[in-house]
Chain A
Amino acid sequence: MNKTDIQIAICGSAGEGTIAAGDILRSALAGAGYRIIAFDAYPAEIRGFGKCVARLRVTTEQAYSLKEKSDVLVCLNDEHGIPHIGEVRDYGAVIYEEKSIVPLAEGAHVSAHILPGQVPYPVPIRELSERATGAVRSRNMVVVGYIAGLFGLSREPFYKIVDLKFKNKGSVAAQNRKAFDAGYDLGADTFKLDDVEFGAPGEMFQATMLNGNAAVARGCLDAGIDTFFGYPITPATTIMEKLASEMPKRGKRLLQTEDEIAAIATTIGAGYTGARAATATSGPGLALMSEMLGLGVMAEVPSVVFVSQRGGPATGIPTKTEQADLNIALHGGHGDAPRIVIAPTNVDGCYRCAGKAFEMAERYQTPVIVLLDLYLSNRYETVALPGKSPFEADSDKPLAKQDLGAGYKRFAYTDDHVSPRALPGMAGGMHVVTGLEHNELGRVNEQPDVHEAMSRKRHEKLRAALDHPDFTVYKRFGDEGPVDVGILGWGSSFGECLEAMFLARREGIRCAALKVVMLSPFPVDAVTAFLDDCGAVLVPELNYQGQFAQLVQAETCRPVHRYNRVTGTPLRVEDIYAEVRRLALAATRKAA
């Protein structure tokens, strides 16, 4: 069986159906049994302005990131497509609108920029769309059909997705099928000159295709979320949208609040009552939530905050990705306010972190921040989710009868620093909750020894999270034992780190990669042990300051090499690999 590893990029203007074409293509190919990683880049404007690019990598074996070079590029728009032609590999295919309906200046057509090693496929996309449906808006379906026909893919998975997508829209599904067929027939009849070959998907991969935000929503639902409060913000909004459609069906409640401050306040309020409660936001929203998060820490109330990072500061670049909110997630707010911060590295991780966040919030009675970014929120992957929820339905510390009564100590000092929690209305569980420093009963107390003891309690109770059951706090990949270069990664960019490590090992460099999922509390021992094994350590991340590198250095007192990019786009595997090679070479020279 031939292995399939094909990356397709579709490029167009907002409103041309570029993202929709990518969606149908990846859904159909996932339905056909291929593994998918996909990521869409789009402008902040809704329609008619900026560039949209849908990229999907189709594989028969597990992949961890998009590739630098695409095998196929579809240009729905000359202006936006031209800058991307260079990303197509030699003997890859460039599919584009054959003719312009307006006069073009020299060099304004895609064909002027196709490189000699690439294979041009001019297609009368507009004409086929108009013939098939009487409208140009089906151009995106024509190109989906053309790709399917050119590469000999079955029509059925595409029909299935089209029917599903437009099932409540009258004749729209039939129209889209017509456009698809028009493109398919031409593609099938086209003499193929590229060397892009789809192998059979092999054994049917029973998977669901989700993006990070959908996986978060699924994790929330499987963990039994009771309430969700949110205020829309890119790129976190779709978490709320997904939950809004699912929670009412399960008798759960979701409220769109007037702003982020209200969202976190209501989330903490719901958490106080014993509900599994969450909110979702992005960097600007997290900044607004910082004060209330402190209340959650001080009052030891479980709450879950999903934060999908985007380019900042301020309004920044709302539809571009960045990993620059690590510092505010770890340290944002006033006072000594420790919290749990976890960062999934892939879509499957989004599901697991979402569910586990509720367990941790309850077990350690604290806010838990789950840190995603736009790249992970919008990245689609085929994942095999468990049929049955793997999450505990109730993670609260058991409350013994003798704990309750007149002397109930909501904030009792215990061996594990977690106090038995009574919920409002529970007989014998009356207590005071306040944002002021308090004693074990919850009553305001500013005595030095109390503040010290309570501060210790709030910090120390979190250490147990490093051993939270069935949760991957960190994981090492690649060569065991001493290595030339180690890559230390977190969050969405770890996939690129992993692919770079594979490249390095193929080139004979001893290399390992460590992903760190739990960022607070920090797994100091494990990371230090990893650093001990590495001749040099590279920390690639999508922020200017090297926020994770700073954290690693602060926690381990070891030097690391930083690789920081702030392009608004994901890291590139080849760039990380180049850094690894440079470090390996430097180590070799030093040894010589």
Chain B
Amino acid sequence: MSTPRHHVVIGSGVAGNQAAETLRARDPESRVTMITVSKLPFFNRYDLPRVFRGERDWRKFVIYPAEYYRDNRISLRRATKVVGVDGERRTLTLDHNETIRFDTLLVASGASAYMPAELAEYQPLMHGFGAFRDAITAADALPKDGHVILMGGDTIGLDLGRTLLDIGYRVTVIAEKHTFWPHEVKAEDRPRYIEALARMGFEVVDGHARGEIAAVRAGAPGLSPRRVVFHDGSEIHGDIAMPFFGVAPALDFMLGSGVDIERGLLVQPNLRTTNEAIYAAGDVCQIWSDTDKRYHFYHGWKNVRAMGELAARNITGANEPWTPIQDESLQLGSDGRIHSPFWEYA
């Protein structure tokens, strides 16, 4: 009797979970292991703004019940960090000193919030939004009718901002080059989109005109808890300051794996890396485009899920190229409000 193949998936977001499900369906005899640093099972990250509406139970955000993993024989390893991958030996090393052998590896580790180097030292004064805990912590720090400062204002931040405005919070966007990320907005179109933000209820501060953000500081007694200071000396005050400067692929553990990396893991249109046993999907990879002759990142729930499925299909014998399934352009609706296709999921 032959040993069943061991498919390992790093990451338990939408790409990883879609891949695991597909792997299970297409290779019923195999072992499927999904590894994630998160303590929580797969939850809908796009749903996190609900935390600010008062939903505090993480179980309400979880996509699959616990039985799903058991029924599909997917070994879910949470709170587990991969620290190294040996592409040649087909092993990966976990932070707690365990080694796992794989036959195929799908890297779907996603991305983490990008922080400009000049602001990194102020991170302890900012409220992140990458994990369930971050959302709870931010919501706890925000008083009723409080004031939120969205620094940068990528689409994740703007999506949260829409919810916060709807609830009744005051939301200020410090617009700069990461605003609307990952949408590529032409310079001539930018003013119209900024105006649209204002129409939606956001207070917009032109960060560039103020010389960009210089620092984030704690508020003095009698003032708001946070001050965002600009290089021109001006400052704005709020209850919490949240960074939304886009995301960066989470792939430190792949350094030294023998796989080509640029900003993300470089993959062929079939999502295979330079190692035939290793594939990548989601925000972590850059996909080669024969048309543009360059590597592209693709974002959004639907694209990422499709990548997870495609990678799993190709791991299990197919050889199909990637085709984006989601329009990536920022829309300006007839109501004058902006709309991002990345705000649609499920």
Contact = CB atoms under 8 A, between A and B. Distances in A.
Interface residues of B, number: 25
Interface in A92-118: 98-109, 111-112, 114-117
Contact of B98 (A90, A112, A117, A119): A112
B78 A191 contact: no
B66 A111 contact: no
Interface in A131-160: none
Interface stretch (B69-77, B162-170, B173-181, B318-326): B69-77
Contacts of A98: 95-96
A297 B41 CA distance: 67
B95 A99 contact: yes
Interface in B181-197: none
Given A91-B59, A120-B78, A104 B66 contact: no
A98 B80 CA distance: 9
A549 B273 CA distance: 69
B114 interface: no
A101 B58 contact: no
Contacts of A193: 39-40, 58
Contacts of A100: 96-98
Interface in A183-239: 191, 193
A107 B100 CA distance: 8
Contacts of A107: 98
Given A116-B78, A122-B79, 15 more contacts: A90-B66, A91-B59, A103-B98, A104-B98, A105-B99, A109-B96, A111-B77, A111-B80, A114-B79, A116-B69, A116-B70, A116-B76, A117-B66, A191-B133, A193-B58
A128 to B, nearest CB: 15
Nearest to A110: B96
Contact of A102 (B66, B97, B101, B133): B97
A104 B101 CA distance: 12
Contacts of A108: 98
Contact of B94 (A91, A109, A117): A109
Contacts, number: 65
A125 to B, nearest CB: 12
Contacts of B101: 106
Interface string A318-339: 0000000000000000000000
A112 B96 CA distance: 11
Tell me whether chain B's interface is mostly helix, strand or loop, or mixed: mixed
A115 B66 contact: yes
Interface in A357-374: none
B77 A112 contact: yes
A101 B70 CA distance: 30
Interface string B77-121: 111100000000000001111111100000000000000000000
A98 B96 CA distance: 6
Interface string B269-290: 0000000000000000000000
Contacts of A90: 66
Given A91-B59, A112-B77, A116-B76, A99 B96 contact: yes
A121 B76 CA distance: 15
A202 B290 CA distance: 71
Tell me whether chain A's interface is mostly helix, strand or loop, or mixed: loop
A120 B79 contact: yes
Most buried by B among A107, A111, A193: A111
Given A111-B80, A112-B77, A119 B96 contact: no
B39 A119 contact: yes
Contacts of A91: 59
Q: For this complex, into which size category does the number of interface residues on chain A fall?
A: 20 to 34
Nearest to B97: A100
A122 B68 CA distance: 24
B96 A111 contact: yes
Contacts of A116: 41, 66, 68-70, 76, 78
Contact of A106 (B40, B41, B59, B100): B100
A53 B94 CA distance: 28
Most buried by A among B41, B96, B97: B96
Contacts of B80: 111
Contacts of A114: 77-79
Contacts of B41: 116
Most buried by B among A91, A104, A112, A116: A116
23 contacts: A90-B66, A98-B95, A99-B97, A100-B96, A100-B97, A102-B97, A103-B97, A104-B96, A104-B98, A104-B99, A106-B101, A109-B94, A109-B96, A111-B79, A111-B96, A114-B79, A116-B68, A116-B69, A116-B78, A117-B66, A120-B78, A120-B79, A193-B39
Nearest to A122: B79
Interface string B128-147: 00000100100000000000
Most buried by B among A103, A106, A120: A106
Nearest to A108: B98
Given A111-B77, A114-B78, A119-B39, A106 B99 contact: yes
Given A112-B77, A120-B79, A122-B79, A106 B98 contact: yes
A90 B99 CA distance: 28
A103 B69 CA distance: 27
Interface in A72-102: 90-91, 98-102
Contacts of B95: 98-99
Contacts of B78: 111, 114, 116, 120
A525 B78 CA distance: 59
A103 B99 contact: yes
A100 B99 CA distance: 12
A99 B80 CA distance: 10
Most buried by A among B70, B79, B98, B99: B98
A107 B95 CA distance: 14
Most buried by A among B69, B76, B77: B77
- Sort A-B residue pairs by CB-CB distance and give the 9 closest, nearest first: A117-B66, A116-B66, A104-B98, A120-B79, A100-B97, A191-B133, A116-B69, A99-B96, A109-B98
A193 to B, nearest CB: 6
Contacts of B39: 119-121, 193
Interface in B216-272: none
